[in-house]
Structure 1
């Protein structure tokens, strides 16, 4: 049998606490109620206990005072009646004291009459002590000293435990007072009162308070649960409806019941949802019209563009027979027709992405081979700009399940941008991979970009420096298409740049299609390889 996983249980409880408003509200209410009931219950229990003890102590002291008077009366009577001996007087005094104590139950009050120590003469009458009293255990020397030294008939008391036959103890009070016995001297009378009945009453009151407090807390928790459920239920329904709206189910609404504030919230929410549905539907229709227009125009332009291209090629091939001005015109026409073809191809590709009509043909591909092919295709252009292309691939997994055509297009676009903005400095291509992902980084040491430019670098038709002379004939859609290609693979295309330090674009792709990326094998930027000195 597997051991119980406390950590998983605690994590689940913490997640439930964070996610459930109802649980937090009920728990906090019950906790605060328990603290309040506990404080009030403790104060009431303490007050009731003190009052009960003070009241019982007053009764005990009054009974002790009567007992002292009754006992002294018996001893005084023995002096007048010479026929009564001192032992008989002691017995009568003890009985009179117990009768005067008015104990509610027999045995609740015990008595001890002791001769004060240090007096001359014989110890007559002898001390009388109830069987349940242990003088050394129950009567402290301090109490005996106070009673013995008293010059008036004052009462002195102290609390004591009273052992029982079953081994338990009952609370008790012992009260001491002085007696004058004729012909014998000073005696001390101690009355021991059992307070178990008072303790039982106090225990019953305390149990009633705590049971009542527990019932009150449970009642508060139940009421809070019901109230919170009435309030949180519509909020939860609104949250679920919002999630369904966000998922594209624009027809869902919150039920409207009653005329209270929750119903007002539902009507307002539904009105907002209706307005959003109309706007989204309208925008979707406009987007479809726009996409269809771009697609249709792009397709329609292909036929005349093909004719123009054929005518332009004829003129371009015969430019040597033309006058210089006409030859230059034929060259410009040829260049712009090529750029127009690239722009038209990019527009068609973007329209496919917008329409969601893009599919991939993936196969296991060596990314190092793709990078080598891309570098070879732009090597002449890099040489003409004075930039050296270097590849750093330390070795590893590399092969990934990708659409080679799209990845090659991304690499050619990144390399072309690096050549255009590299200021003739070296361009380094890093390739590295791990078990889950493969990464390619193109690093240049050219002009770099500002943070504001980095935020817009993937926008369509945006250029960092429109006045810069380009040799790759860019359309302003290359990075936007590259970003879409990376996202289509489930990958990332990220940029780092700093003015005067160059730029670095990092492409990270999962090695298996459909696997979610967690990290990239390369840093951004990778470990720098500085330009040649």
Structure 2
């Protein structure tokens, strides 16, 4: 599953490297295996890096200290041997004898030490005529000896002093080294500063080998840990992935899907619990489905069975209503109420039959090319007397919606009558604005009132069957409580939407949107759900004839 989803992403990233951050972020959010492997590798790499750095520093320090102790002991032994030869020699005032002794010292120090790099400086001016001067055994320059080291050697005649230096090599490069200095006393001449320079290139190579070995071992260890983590995580995450896929299939309606149970560990217990839950859900859903079918069948059968006696009652009520002027006042009023309630009962029965058809999935559309604007004007004209009776003014604003669209005009007309009727009933006698508009994808009509309005919680339930925002309020127009539910079903049959916006003490706006072509709505509705105008901003209505003239007088590209 993960590999399948990652393959197209990899191709896209190869074409556009800027997509890497988004793809990695999406993989981080979606894949538990990727997150776990990434966190494991990062923490492991950090731990190995810190460990390798500490080990490299410790090895470097120990290697340097060990080498330093060796060269200090070597230099001390060489100078001590040279001092012993000087002390044991019979020194006279003969300059030639001093020079011979000094040459012997120059040969003894390199021979007694492991380094041939020796430099000597007289501390004080040598006696005139002695012929004894400082010396150096190689091309090592005295500039490598710092003044600070020389000051320490002069200040402490009985101690060794050392300093890390860079030794020039024949090829022009430099190598790390240590310069060790101490005093050598030549009788009859004075004290000399003797410095022996030791090359640490071999120690540097050893240190580099150890460090490269550490880093290589760290990389190999990271790779091994990554492999082990992948194997372990795969063993653990595979059942989790199977559970996720099975849950998705179960949520999609495949009630027969189950998880395989392997072993007796925690994952097996999880699979058994999941399967038990799935069995319970399947049982309850089947039971609810059977109850729903029974309920739908009951409503359908009762509705059909009631039509015959209702027809008889309707005929009798009509006859009595036609002759109610011949009755006394009480009987007259009773006859009128009977006629009204029989009409409402007949409407309720028709709505129940329509709902049962929706539940059974047996509703079919009778499509005709219809102008939504003209349909809205017809409904407004039919509802205008009722609106005038309630003190509301119906206004049509139709900047678009004239071009015919395939729809079921009977059902759309029923939706509009229901929406306008609700607006009249709850509009508090204020103007009601019906707006039609269109774009290249859809046509839409909005019914806006400035009445009581609803809370967001009430607006979410407004399409529920037999639901009212205020149960204590009586219906004055005679609705059945199923109108908006049926209207929502009609909108969905067309592949469209029926949405509502409402705010307390501000009003309500219903927007019906129907696509021009099958397949659903692309883009926003031509009529915005949240209205921009207030009660004081409502303008005078535009007559359909004027809008039609504006439409046909406009340029083709300006028509919508």
TM-score (norm 1): 0.91
Q: Which of 198, 205, 211 is the matching residue for 1:200?
A: 205
- 1:145 maps to 151
Question: How far off is 1:225 after superposition?
Answer: 1.5
Question: How far off is 1:155 after superposition?
Answer: 1.5
Q: Which moved more, 1:480-489 or 1:273-282?
A: 480-489
Give distance in 1, aligned partners of 2:255 and 2:179.
85
Q: Which whole-Å deviations, capped at 9, do the CAs of 1:322-351 have from their partners, x for residues lacking one?
A: 554444444333322221221111111111
C-alpha contact 2:392 2:431 (8 A) present in aligned 1:
yes
Question: How far off is 1:221 after superposition?
Answer: 1.7
Question: How far off is 1:256 after superposition?
Answer: 0.7
- 2:83 maps to 72
- 2:103 maps to 91
Give distance in 1, aligned partners of 2:358 and 2:321.
35
C-alpha contact 2:500 2:509 (8 A) present in aligned 1:
yes
Give distance in 2, aligned partners of 1:363 and 1:209.
81
What SS does the aligned partner of 2:306 have? helix
Give distance in 2, aligned partners of 1:26 and 1:286.
49
1:342 aligns with 2:347: yes
Indicate how the Cα distance of structure 1 residues 431 and 39 shifts in structure 2: closer, same or farther if over 3 A, else same.
Answer: same
Give distance in 2, aligned partners of 1:399 and 1:128.
113
Give distance in 2, aligned partners of 1:445 and 1:63.
105
Q: Which whole-Å deviations, capped at 9, do the CAs of 1:337-376 have from their partners, x for residues lacking one?
A: 2212211111111112222222334455432222212211
Q: Which of 56, 71, 74 is the matching residue for 2:67?
A: 56
Give distance in 2, aligned partners of 1:364 and 1:120.
128
Q: Which of 114, 119, 122 is the matching residue for 2:121?
A: 114
- 1:182 maps to 187
Aligned length: 525
For residues 454-465 of structure 1, the aligned pairs below 5 Å read 454-465=459-470
Indicate how the Cα distance of structure 1 residues 342 and 122 shifts in structure 2: closer, same or farther if over 3 A, else same.
Answer: farther
CA RMSD of aligned residues (A): 2.7
C-alpha contact 2:117 2:137 (8 A) present in aligned 1:
yes
What SS does the aligned partner of 2:535 have? coil
1:134 aligns with 2:150: no
For residues 270-349 of structure 1, the aligned pairs below 5 Å read 270-349=275-354
- 2:546 maps to none
Runs of 4+ in structure 1 over 6 Å off? 81-84
Question: How far off is 1:503 after superposition?
Answer: 2.4
Indicate how the Cα distance of structure 1 residues 373 and 183 shifts in structure 2: closer, same or farther if over 3 A, else same.
Answer: same
Question: How far off is 1:494 after superposition?
Answer: 2.9
Give distance in 2, aligned partners of 1:7 and 1:181.
77
Q: Which of 239, 242, 255 is the matching residue for 2:244?
A: 239
Give distance in 1, aligned partners of 2:470 and 2:50.
73
C-alpha contact 2:509 2:530 (8 A) present in aligned 1:
yes
Q: Which of 89, 93, 100 is the matching residue for 2:112?
A: 100
- 2:553 maps to none
Structure 2: state its 5+ residue gaps: 1-11, 540-560
Indicate how the Cα distance of structure 1 residues 109 and 276 shifts in structure 2: closer, same or farther if over 3 A, else same.
Answer: farther
Q: Which of 508, 519, 524 is the matching residue for 1:503?
A: 508
- 2:23 maps to 12
Give distance in 2, aligned partners of 1:273 and 1:366.
50
Indicate how the Cα distance of structure 1 residues 465 and 398 shifts in structure 2: closer, same or farther if over 3 A, else same.
Answer: farther
What SS does the aligned partner of 1:267 have? helix
Question: How far off is 1:529 after superposition?
Answer: 4.0
